[in-house]
Amino acid sequence: MTNLRSAVTAPRAGTAVVGGRGPAEGAASRHRRLTTRTGALFVTPYVLFLLVVFAIPMVYTLWISVHRFYFTAPGTHADSPWVGLSNYRDVFTDPVVGRAFLNIAVFLVINVPLTVLLALVLAAALNAKIRFRAFFRAAYYLPYITASVALVAVWQFLFGSDGFVNHLLGSHAPDPSWLVNSHLAMPMIAVFVTWKQLGFFVMLYLAALQNVGKELYEAASVDGAGRIRQFFSVTVPGVRPATTLVVIYAIITGANLFSEPYLLTGGGGPDHASTSPVLLMYQKGIEQGHPDFAAALGVVLVAFVLVISLAARKLTERGN
């Protein structure tokens, strides 16, 4: 977070340098005029990209969400009459939508504490002088860089009804099995995603731990604080900005969840037990041909993400 903030203020400093150049005034202003055009030219492809891939689709979603919108065969045209908020009414009265948002809540309740705890413990252990550090780091990072589809294939195999884990558990295996159990499907997805992303957060915490002053540990130890005490009163507050990032990232991941429920639990699990909002957008919008409903759902989802991101940020930064 600190990086981002300093990055935001940086351009102003750059401006000051250019403006403050005294002697070569004529040349400088000529260059400034020149770079004005060049700078704009250099950045044009990126701006076009942002317009085409972000701005226009966002406005288009809003437009679709307040119209009756149909997919048409290529070359044909269908009217899209204005329907006001009726798509939103459909979204709010659809029980599956409620279920999908509840599923995201379950996801966050499992994913966030598990990620924070495991990533912090592993980062703290890695932060010490230790042999094979490069190996451990690589091991934790591996799932993060590997394709979801590949990992889902392995997990399906490990946690399938006749899979490795159930063979290991014998008669203690859950029935119905993990991925087809309506109570376990969503927690399984949360655990899978935690496992897959953990390496990223271990690295994040590892970097954050470098910024926790050693003298704080010394002071705590002089005061007679043991290691556990030091962990909770020095380490945990020290890496709080990273924790905020973990929470925000988890919320965005939750809002983006698609491949895992679609592939790991066969299109949303039993009775929509692991349906996510994005999966629902796909099913309603593209499979069932109601893009207007899906667009309204997307708008609701963005609002949901914004609200809980802000709330989470307030909550995690309250201690400062």
Partner 1 sequence: MSVSTPAPGSSTPMSPAVKTPSSGTRRARPRSAGAHRTRGTVVKYAVLSLGAVAFLFPFYYMIVGSLRKTTTGDLSSAVPSGLTGSSYTAVNGAISLGRSLLNSGIMTIGVLLCTLVFGVLAGYALAQLQFRGRGTVFASLMLVQMVPFQLLTLPLYVLVVRDYGLGDNYVGMILPFAINSTAVFLFRQFFLQLPQSLFEAARLDGAGELRILWKIALPMARPAVLTAMLLTFIGPWNEFLWPFLVTKNADMQPLAVSLASFLSNLQGTVANPTGALLAGACVLAAPAVALFILFQRHFTSTDIDSGVKG
Could you say which of 29, 60, 98, 311 contacts partner 1 (CB under 8 A)? 60
Q: Which position among 227, 288, 289, 311 is part of the footprint of partner 1 (CB under 8 A)?
A: 227
Write out the H or E segment, with its range, that includes residue 122. Answer: helix 95-127
User: Of residues 89, 183, 229, 314, which one binds partner 1 by CB under 8 A?
Assistant: 229
Instruction: For residue 295, report the phi and psi dihedrals to the nearest 5 degrees.
Output: -65, -45
Find the binder of partner 1 among 100, 116, 190, 206 (CB under 8 A).
206
Q: Is 29 in the site for partner 1 (CB under 8 A)?
A: no
Instruction: Please count the residues of this chain forming the interface with partner 1, following the rule CB under 8 A.
Output: 121
| Distance of alpha carbon 271 from alpha carbon 29, whole angstroms | 67
CB of 291 to partner 1, least distance (A): 6
Least Å from the CB of residue 84 to partner 1: 19
Q: How distant, in Å, are the alpha carbons of 205, 259, 277, 282 from that of 256? A: 23, 9, 8, 12
- Torsion angle of the four alpha carbons 173, 174, 175, 178, in this order, in degrees rounded to the nearest 10: -110
- From the CB of residue 30, how many other CB atoms can be counted at a distance below 10 Å? 11
In the complex with partner 1, the residue whose CB is nearer, 85 or 154, is 154
268 interacts with partner 1 by CB under 8 A: no
User: Is the four-CA dihedral 108, 256, 238, 201 of positive or negative sign?
Assistant: positive
User: Among 80, 86, 127, 182, which residue sits at the site for partner 1 (rule: CB under 8 A)?
Assistant: 127
Q: Which of 174, 176, 302, 313 touches partner 1 (CB under 8 A)?
A: 302
Q: Which residue, chain included where needed, has tokens 């403050």? A: 20
Determine which residue in the list 176, 195, 233, 313 makes contact with partner 1, applying CB under 8 A.
Answer: 195
Task: Please check whether residue 280 is in contact with residue 170, taking contact to mean a CB–CB distance below 8 angstroms.
Answer: no
Our finding on whether 188 is near partner 1 (CB under 8 A) is no
User: Which residues, 6 or more positions from 173, have their beta carbon under 8 angstroms from its beta carbon?
Assistant: 165, 166
Q: Establish if 78 lies at the interface with partner 1 (CB under 8 A).
A: no
Which of 80, 86, 182, 221 touches partner 1 (CB under 8 A)?
221
Maximum separation of any 2 CA atoms in the chain, in Å: 85
Task: Return the structure tokens found at 126.
Answer: 């890695």
Binder among 78, 109, 286, 311 for partner 1 (CB under 8 A) = 286
49 in contact with partner 1 (CB under 8 A)? yes
Which residues is 82 bridged to in the sheet?
Answer: 67
Contact between 74 and partner 1 per CB under 8 A: yes
**Which member of 134, 172, 319, 320 binds partner 1 (CB under 8 A)?**
134
32 binds partner 1 (CB under 8 A): yes
Least distance CB 8 / partner 1 (angstroms):
7
Q: Could you tell me the smallest distance in angstroms from the CB atom of residue 210 to partner 1?
A: 4
Q: Does 68 bind partner 1 (CB under 8 A)?
A: no
Give the dihedral sign, CA 162/166/168/172.
negative
3 state SS of 67: strand
- Asked if 54 is part of the footprint of partner 1 (rule: CB under 8 A), the reply reads yes
Counting every residue written for the chain, the total comes to 320
